[in-house]
Structure 1
């Protein structure tokens, strides 16, 4: 009788584990990063300077929320929004080799209602970071928009994962991308970041 009871208990526990009813199993959830089907429910991306609900499946808050990066991608394009607690410029740089060196940097700001976005490249460890065009490359930001509101600046942009430009990092779906970020209170992107700077890593979705 005792052996039959143990057998029944073992069967019940096995069923619970397989069905996901045990608490430990419930803690292993599927996210948009690992479940591409979730991406089909996203709303249409628009470069309008507004981060709308369900526009981006991924969000990373850094520096206590002073800088937030949102992103999504398909097999060809990267769509991104930068939100920084500043009325100056916000920036993100992809895949630096050392500090700022070799980083593929996007700067953006809003001045007198006009949105400016610069496709730049850091040639030195701590700059300078001229626009790609000044280095013989191309401006590969396909669409962009921005908005300045409540002491925050939001910049949205779209670019190809692989632009073919030597001064842009070639990105691929599922890649873990290291990045640096910075904020300044100036609308001149040649001015040093004087609010905050840091680094992080994001993961692109599968195609």
Structure 2
């Protein structure tokens, strides 16, 4: 039995629909999902930093911090130094604790993905993790395990090459009749664990937001 013209058209339409169904998974209606980079009405009407701003600012911070850390002399002296994520204080008075934790976590994770930094540095999550490593690997020895010199002289312990990365996130606010202005700054410093000396600090990484009065 041969298919007529109408039959072939119907078969072709069925194949197209079947292929379309395979190529893209079905999406529910009215799921209220938007792109992560979209700024919603709720964010625009809020005096708080938007999710998009926090994301973009964290990307900016990581880019600048990566470049800065590559030039710190103490991180380029023949040892693969250890950097412990230290205290990062939220002094903005407006960024919530959960937002700040997400912001800080994103910076940390992106640093851990940076091959440029990891060539000279290994990161430790926090002070508690550092103490756990010390107790497990060195029986409580205060020094932190190093990778040894790059010339292959073996592994050595040297607290002179262990550092804490600390930071402050702050805000300067100005209120006007027609708008509100928020300046945000994020400063870091690198403190040597052996003697507490600050061996590096950055010019603040900056962001600014103007909110119109409604």
Q: Give your verdict on TM over 0.5.
A: no
Task: Give 1 or 2: higher strand fraction.
Answer: 1
Larger-Rg structure: 2
Q: How high is the TM-score relative to the length of structure 2?
A: 0.28
Task: Give 1 or 2: higher helix fraction.
Answer: 2
Structure with more contact order per residue of length (Cα contacts < 8 Å, sep ≥ 6): 1
